[in-house]
């Protein structure tokens, strides 16, 4: 009923869509192309080359920051996925419990909260607790932010599921926890995977919260990139950014393939 042939779409709509997508993608494409520029000057094209990738892999400080970021992202994304999934289950399955409004408020507020506030408030907490700032403080801060995104993704998937499957499993003698693990968990697995990946990339991306909560000597990759960018454009930064864009693109393609493979079993694909 809704399906219209493309020919019936007005030219205006097609032009808008094309321009919108071009606007979203062109800057990134330009960035990637310039990362292969052989010239020392960022703006002069000197032919194709991999020298800036080479100089990144020889930059010890940058590599250390990248390693720190990857560790933080992996640990915080895993913690956030566990906590966020539990929260999503509580919100969709627990009909009503005391403090539910506060609970959902706490889970949605960080989604829009300016990062400077989240970062500052967490730092003040860590200082008051006397915690040593570094890997764990950044990891905890990122977990707090990203678990909210996991909750939203898993919750929308859980909300769309047919509960009668779970009820059938319980009629057949499963206890609720077992029914959940055996029936529901495989169905929401794509959403959980998508949640983990989003948490991972958000953590990898974050500059502001990490700047507040990290300690001396443990800079993350965005903190290093930011301090370099403030000094001006450098070809090496182009290469690092392209590497990040490339790995995220690979992750997304892998995820959409995975969700396509599993969507045969579920009702519809994960929203993200």
Adjacent-strand bridge partners of 37: 48
Q: For residues 80 and 223, what is the distance between their CA atoms, to the nearest angstrom? A: 22
Minimal distance in Å, beta carbon 245 to other proteins? Answer: 5
C-beta closer to other proteins: residue 63 or 125: 125
C-beta closer to other proteins: residue 58 or 227: 227
C-beta closer to other proteins: residue 12 or 48: 12
Residue 215 · residue 168 · CB < 8 Å? no
C-beta closer to other proteins: residue 27 or 217: 27
Q: For residues 228 and 65, what is the distance between their CA atoms, to the nearest angstrom? A: 13
Q: For residues 108 and 100, what is the distance between their CA atoms, to the nearest angstrom? A: 12
Q: At 48, phi and psi to the nearest 5?
A: -80, 140
Q: For residues 103 and 101, what is the distance between their CA atoms, to the nearest angstrom? A: 5
Minimal distance in Å, beta carbon 269 to other proteins? Answer: 7
C-beta closer to other proteins: residue 6 or 61: 6
Q: How many CA atoms lie within 13 A of 144 on its CB side?
A: 19
Minimal distance in Å, beta carbon 57 to other proteins? Answer: 18
Task: Kindly list the distances between the CA atom of residue 13 and the CA atoms of 6, 17, 234, in Å, as whole numbers in the listed order.
Answer: 10, 6, 38
Minimal distance in Å, beta carbon 180 to other proteins? Answer: 7
Minimal distance in Å, beta carbon 58 to other proteins? Answer: 21
Contacts of residue 267, defined as CB under 8 A and 6 or more positions apart, other chains included, come to 160, 161, 162
C-beta closer to other proteins: residue 204 or 219: 204
Minimal distance in Å, beta carbon 64 to other proteins? Answer: 18
């Amino acid at each position: 009923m809704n399906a219209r042939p493309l020919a019936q779409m007005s030219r205006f709509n097609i032009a808008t869509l094309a321009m919108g997508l071009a606007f979203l993608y062109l800057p990134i494409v330009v960035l990637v192309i310039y990362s292969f520029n052989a010239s020392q000057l960022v703006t002069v094209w000197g032919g194709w080359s991999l020298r800036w990738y080479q100089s990144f892999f020889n930059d010890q400080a940058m590599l250390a920051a990248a390693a720190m970021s990857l560790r933080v992202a992996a640990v915080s994304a895993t913690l956030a996925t566990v906590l966020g999934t539990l929260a999503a289950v509580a919100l969709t399955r627990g009909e009503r419990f005391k403090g539910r409004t506060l609970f959902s408020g706490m889970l949605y507020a960080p989604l829009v909260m300016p990062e400077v506030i989240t970062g500052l408030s967490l730092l003040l907490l860590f200082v008051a607790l006397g915690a040593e700032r570094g890997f764990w403080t950044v990891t905890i801060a990122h977990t707090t932010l990203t678990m909210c995104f996991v909750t939203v993704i898993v919750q929308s998937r859980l909300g769309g599921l047919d509960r009668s499957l779970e009820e059938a499993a319980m009629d057949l003698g499963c206890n609720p926890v077992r029914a959940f693990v055996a029936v529901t968990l495989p169905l929401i697995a794509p959403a959980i995977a998508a949640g983990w990946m989003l948490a991972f990339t958000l953590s990898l991306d974050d500059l502001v919260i990490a700047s507040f909560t990290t300690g001396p000597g443990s800079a993350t990759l965005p903190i290093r990139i930011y301090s370099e960018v403030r000094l001006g454009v450098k070809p090496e930064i182009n290469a690092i950014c392209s590497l990040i864009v490339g790995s995220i693109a690979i992750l997304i393609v892998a995820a959409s393939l995975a969700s396509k493979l599993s969507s045969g079993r579920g009702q519809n694909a994960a929203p993200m």
